[in-house]
Structure 1
Amino acid sequence: MKNFAAQCSFGSNLIPVLKDKFTTGMKDGPIKDRLYEEETTKDLSELMEVAMKKEAAIKTTNIEVHSIGRSREGAKKKNGNGSQKKLSTTMGGEKTTKKNYDKACYVCGLTNHKFSECKYKQYKCKNCNTVGHLAKVCKTVKNHFVEVEENKVMDMFQVEVKSENNCGLSPVMISVKIENVSIEMEVDSGAGISILPEEIVKEKLPHIHINSTVLKLRTYDGSIIKPTGEIEVKLKYGERELYGKLLVVKKGHRALVGRDLMKKLGITIMGISKIEVESTNKNNKLELLMNEFEELFEEKVGKYKYEKVTLKVKEGCTPVFCKPRPIPFAFKKKVEEELDRLEKEDIIQKVETSEWGTPLVPVIKPDGSIRLCADYKTTVNKYLVDINHPLPRVEDVFVALQGGKTFSKLDFLNAYNQLELCENTQKLLAWSTSKGIYLVKRLPFGTKPACSKFQSVIEKVLLGTKGVKNFLDDIIVTGSSEQEHLDNLREVFKRLQKAGFRLNKKKCSFFQPKINYLGHVIGSEGIERDENKVKAMLNAIEPKSVTEVKAFTGMVNYYAKFIPNLSTLLGPIYNLLKKEVKFVWTKECREAFNKTKQAMASESLLVHYNPDLDVVLSCDASEYGIGAVLMHIFENGEKRPVGYASRILTVAERKYSVIQKEALAVFWGVKKFSQYLLGRKFFLETDHKPLLALYGEKKGIPVMASGRIQRWALYLSEFDYQVVHIKGNDNKVADGLSRLPDKDDVLIQTKEVDYVDFMENTMPIDYGILRVETKKDKEFSLVIKFLNEGWPIKVSEELKPYAIRKEEICVDKDILMWGYRILIPKVLRKDLLKEVHSTHMGMSKMKTLCRSYMWWPGLDKDIEKWVQSCRTNFS
């Protein structure tokens, strides 16, 4: 009643109306009579308490109730003609004798009187509206088992049970773990004991032995059913865990949780036809709900059951098969173990041949584990037909979430991998590895149509749900009340689990007051602008030099035509740029600076995101910060900002080479604005030309780049973009943001594992000595200097081998690296060759081994000389 009434316009009259409906709607009988004895001033909760107490009293007064399993032989008495009598408890506590008739009264269902003496003969049935019987024994209603007797020594439980079709309400189902197996059970307060159909026991609990039992079940029509037996098992629901008995019946359409287990499992009846857990705490309710759908949060890859993904290629394309890329010896074992794991989990399948073959690049995760990434940019991506499925517009999301009080965001576990591929698509995306060819059976990361396909699948699964909207692998859920929010979550959980999906519990957030979506904040009070998209501008640090003043004014002047009286506004700051004027940051400068920032963040300049307009992301890096600006391009060619982003570089990041800082700026900018960029084409602007070789839309994952650049390139492979090189003078906004970064947006530094960490355990060298000698080496010192400050146009002959590889060489933990190879200083090269050749291996094998771990100019020639001079080899 409460749920239906909430949709009506009762206003302040809601509670009085519910109270009247509760009392007048109660069926005729002792409970209704007791309610009419109460004062009219009693509120609804008090009346419900009175009714429940009366109901409990009736059960102990008129129904013979004794504990199952307790012998009553001592209570048996015989009368003169041989008939049996049983003890019955009255309200006053005295013991009386009552006659037990063979058949239940067809008017009320009890067995302590004849039907001709039944006081309910004139009552009208609430189900069929016929006078002469009660609803609980109505022949038109299918009832569950409600009475229990045990071989003449056990008395019976007998209470009314709700009909499955009563009031059109659906059964209340919960998921109970029985011996760690999840089984859907109906909560039925009318059933005295919990039961399991034999079919379910054989299917899901075949290892559990069914014990014999003398217990019998009686239905309301008086018929007796003998159970197959009983099982004693471990039960878990929510936080409750216990051992209990369940009766096993031969026939039955579903498992039931009866009164014997409801309290033990933490379930009580609250009001009419409403199940609530004992705790009213929101977090406890959520935890119970998540435990109910525990399978949904298992830490393993799910599998969507209802469809296999088909990706199509353009007509006339020729299959591309690339040979496997060489894998460093340090990673070989980990790569093979990962391939074995994926094959065991049925994500890949080994085959003999394939027309298509994409090479793998092993990428080191920040935690040190290996991720196998297929470089589809080099093979099938350019031939795949796009799946044009639109992402939800801002307006669609607002409508779906309108009226929500709190919001939950659900995140998938390895989202794309949960979609199976059809056989033809498995062949298209096959992997070419050093261990053989593998078909890919799940949708992998890095294929162009992946995000659009995933969006369409989740939309189908959630179709028709209320207060729910998905955006790629994020699902937003809300409700007009806490209970409605929980109900909506339950429906989403139910659909996702049924479809075979898995969620990432660690990344899900629940009952948040607000959520951010495409530059807006959605909350209970409506929609407002997301200040995060202008925070970088408003929090820009004050210039401390003429160079920084130029960066700021250059950024602002980029949008001069949209800011009225800009030259007047910037007057005090412009004075600092005059010749022979000493740099002094005055109060007037500070006021002008703050007003200009406000103008740059104003609604008159910023535009709302529009999926129909072209998008460009400009990124840049300075010595101490990175910046990015997302802009729309209008038909007249004008660019207007959608949002700004910047942050200060960490201590470790400030040691990056120039190209690594620029690459970081692009990666961070794309990640910051990913919600706007996923599933659509966009332009990526940079003034650092070498990035075209690393991040170019047609370039694969750079094999010889550092581990971190490979990780960043892998992340970008999910996006559909075109890299555009622009002059530094045309990148004023991103440049200004990077030079005056948001002082409050500081990245929390975490330990990052890279190639050098793997090499330390595999190379016969002291890494402390290596670091010291790297700093002492003259060539290496110049290389490190040029990496940090930029390479000159001309270099000496000795440095040319390094200059050729300048985009791939980096400094990692004070050691120079070329991809996964360590650069060895001159003073250590001889000793290292001696150590490697200690087993007197051949020249080819020694070259292969050394190339996998180290490099210096002329490495191959030095190996040849060493082997040729070895006396053992000559002999």
Structure 2
Amino acid sequence: MWKNLTHLCSGDLLTQQVWKPGKKLKNTLMNSWTWMSSRRLAHNEIVEVTTPVLITWNDGNYTLCGDFRPLNNYTKADRYPIPRIPHALEKLEKAKYKTKMDCMKGFHQNGVKPNSINLLRIICHMGIYEYTRMPFGIKNAPAHFQRMMETLFQDEILEGWMVVYIDDIIIYSETLEDHVKYIDRVLSQCTPINLKISLKKCNFGEQELLALGNKVSGLSLAVYQNKVAAILQRPVPINIKEIQSFLGFSSYYRNHNKHFAHMTSSLYKLCSKDVVFEITKERRDAYERIKYELTNAPMLILPDFELPFKLYIDAACSQGLGAALHQRQIVDGEPREGLICYISRQLKDSEAK
């Protein structure tokens, strides 16, 4: 059950007006409500606390969620740690077979405590509904789901053949025989608690796997170009929100970019309220260069912690520091030195003097 809400100062602070959806989104909204109501995920209610509904675009599909930002401001944070993606992917370094499973509508599979339901109400042109299952957009939902999954699969994770990242399950092994056994064991764990898996989002026994925004193949790690394609079509940002979105996405792949800190320095300055938002030629060139680097990013290798590392350091730039972590590994019977990651950061004002 979801919990950890703080007491609210006033219900009026959480009462908001309905947002009118565009014509093409009305059918999506109606279909979503029909689907949720039929599965008792939400039902109509007369209430005082309301939250506008949002419809977001994700991987070619619309996702329904509430704008719970006011509620989140009054919610005590659950500090349960979410794994860092690079650390999760490092565990796949010697795996020949990989499987990815996705929990179907992950958060909706979790119940909500009765004393929290009255705060999970969303309003739209069709009326007011309250969630009876954990919705998307709630501050503590990822931490709670991560805790639940790690508790459920504690033994499997400790045995060293499974990674859980919120609602994504990754199984890895060196032999096909073990792999089939592991998959069967995970599915057997899901059945008693009715944890549903989305088969259309599963990949079983792959040697090359798209996972957590990366393409993992053998010992290599590459940028997932389908993710990058959408960014390449975007025009130059015209406000702080758009520049923050672009920098957030490109930062996810900063380990592939040798000069990321230097390239983004002029763009990060635009995120400051003290700076006039102006796309100069320097900033436009930086924007285009970052997009180019995303499409031509070098392939990384996964580290082998039983082998020595090489660290190349670059402190010659007056604006930042950089480093490259390499390792010599045996690939196809031959020793080869490969790049594990690039690291860079800007110099602080006191360091640049």
Q: Is TM (by shorter chain) over 0.5?
A: yes
SS at match of 2:78: coil
Partner of 1:428: 119
SS at match of 1:359: strand
1:659 aligns to 2:350 (yes or no): no
1:376 aligns to 2:90 (yes or no): no
Partner of 1:312: 5
1:359 aligns to 2:46 (yes or no): no
1:670 aligns to 2:248 (yes or no): yes
1:745 aligns to 2:295 (yes or no): yes
1:664/1:464 Cα in 2 relative to 1: closer, same or farther (>3 Å)? same
For 1:518 and 1:335, the matched residues in 2 are separated by 28
Whose Rg is larger? 1
For 1:395 and 1:674, the matched residues in 2 are separated by 10
SS at match of 2:170: strand
Partner of 1:385: 76
Give the alignment's TM-score, normalised by structure 2.
Answer: 0.62
For 1:362 and 1:394, the matched residues in 2 are separated by 27
* Structure 2 residue corresponding to 1:471, chosen from 165, 173, 177: 165
8 Å contact kept, 2:45–2:128: yes
Shift of 1:432: 2.4
SS at match of 1:341: helix
1:490 aligns to 2:69 (yes or no): no
Amino acid at match of 1:310: K
8 Å contact kept, 1:401–1:468: no
SS at match of 2:36: helix
For 1:317 and 1:485, the matched residues in 2 are separated by 52
- Any idea what the Cα deviations from partners look like across 1:722-780, whole Å, max 9, x if unmatched? x996876999688525247428839xxxxxxxxxxxxxxxxxxxxxxxxxxxxxxxxxx
* Structure 1 residue corresponding to 2:39, chosen from 341, 345, 352: 345
* Structure 2 residue corresponding to 1:409, chosen from 100, 103, 112: 100
The 5 A counterparts of 1:431-830 are 431-465=122-156, 466=159, 467-513=161-207, 530=221, 532=223, 649-650=232-233, 653=234, 659=238, 666-667=244-245, 669-671=247-249, 686=268, 735-739=285-289, 741-742=291-292, 745=295
- Any idea what the Cα deviations from partners look like across 1:655-696, whole Å, max 9, x if unmatched? xx8538x866644553465599xxxxxxx965657xx9xxxx
8 Å contact kept, 1:325–1:360: yes
1:317/1:735 Cα in 2 relative to 1: closer, same or farther (>3 Å)? farther
1:733/1:511 Cα in 2 relative to 1: closer, same or farther (>3 Å)? farther
1:531/1:469 Cα in 2 relative to 1: closer, same or farther (>3 Å)? closer
Shift of 1:516: 7.6
Shift of 1:342: 1.9
SS at match of 1:464: helix
1:731/1:430 Cα in 2 relative to 1: closer, same or farther (>3 Å)? farther
Amino acid at match of 1:432: I
1:349/1:510 Cα in 2 relative to 1: closer, same or farther (>3 Å)? same
SS at match of 2:163: strand
Shift of 1:312: 0.9
Amino acid at match of 2:203: S
8 Å contact kept, 2:78–2:144: yes
1:670/1:473 Cα in 2 relative to 1: closer, same or farther (>3 Å)? farther
**More strand per residue: 1 or 2?**
2
For 1:492 and 1:373, the matched residues in 2 are separated by 29
Amino acid at match of 2:288: S
Shift of 1:413: 2.2
Shift of 1:343: 1.4
Determine which structure has greater relative contact order: mean sequence separation of CA pairs < 8 Å that are 6+ residues apart, divided by chain length: 2
Shift of 1:311: 3.8
Amino acid at match of 2:147: S
8 Å contact kept, 2:2–2:134: yes
For 1:390 and 1:409, the matched residues in 2 are separated by 21
Amino acid at match of 1:351: E
8 Å contact kept, 1:516–1:522: yes
8 Å contact kept, 2:106–2:167: yes
Unaligned runs of at least 5 residues, structure 1: 1-307, 536-644, 677-683, 693-722, 747-875
Shift of 1:458: 1.0
8 Å contact kept, 2:215–2:223: no
1:646/1:324 Cα in 2 relative to 1: closer, same or farther (>3 Å)? closer
1:311/1:349 Cα in 2 relative to 1: closer, same or farther (>3 Å)? farther
8 Å contact kept, 1:376–1:447: yes
For 1:742 and 1:648, the matched residues in 2 are separated by 11
1:345/1:674 Cα in 2 relative to 1: closer, same or farther (>3 Å)? farther
> How many correspondences in the alignment?
278
Shift of 1:399: 8.1
For 2:81 and 2:5, the matched residues in 1 are separated by 18
Amino acid at match of 1:348: A
Amino acid at match of 2:33: L
1:353/1:646 Cα in 2 relative to 1: closer, same or farther (>3 Å)? closer
- Any idea what the Cα deviations from partners look like across 1:347-405, whole Å, max 9, x if unmatched? 10222224x211124557886x865431112x201111111111235796478657532
8 Å contact kept, 2:214–2:223: no
For 2:253 and 2:192, the matched residues in 1 are separated by 28
Shift of 1:438: 1.6
1:463/1:738 Cα in 2 relative to 1: closer, same or farther (>3 Å)? same
Give the alignment's TM-score, normalised by structure 1.
Answer: 0.28
8 Å contact kept, 2:80–2:144: yes
For 1:412 and 1:517, the matched residues in 2 are separated by 14
- Any idea what the Cα deviations from partners look like across 1:62-118, whole Å, max 9, x if unmatched? xxxxxxxxxxxxxxxxxxxxxxxxxxxxxxxxxxxxxxxxxxxxxxxxxxxxxxxxx
For 1:496 and 1:724, the matched residues in 2 are separated by 52
Partner of 2:321: none
1:460/1:735 Cα in 2 relative to 1: closer, same or farther (>3 Å)? farther
For 1:404 and 1:413, the matched residues in 2 are separated by 26
Amino acid at match of 1:312: L
* Structure 1 residue corresponding to 2:16, chosen from 322, 338, 341: 322
SS at match of 2:155: coil
Shift of 1:324: 2.2
Shift of 1:412: 2.3
Unaligned runs of at least 5 residues, structure 2: 255-264, 297-353
8 Å contact kept, 2:5–2:75: yes
- Any idea what the Cα deviations from partners look like across 1:535-561, whole Å, max 9, x if unmatched? 9xxxxxxxxxxxxxxxxxxxxxxxxxx
Shift of 1:512: 3.0
For 2:46 and 2:169, the matched residues in 1 are separated by 40
SS at match of 2:238: helix
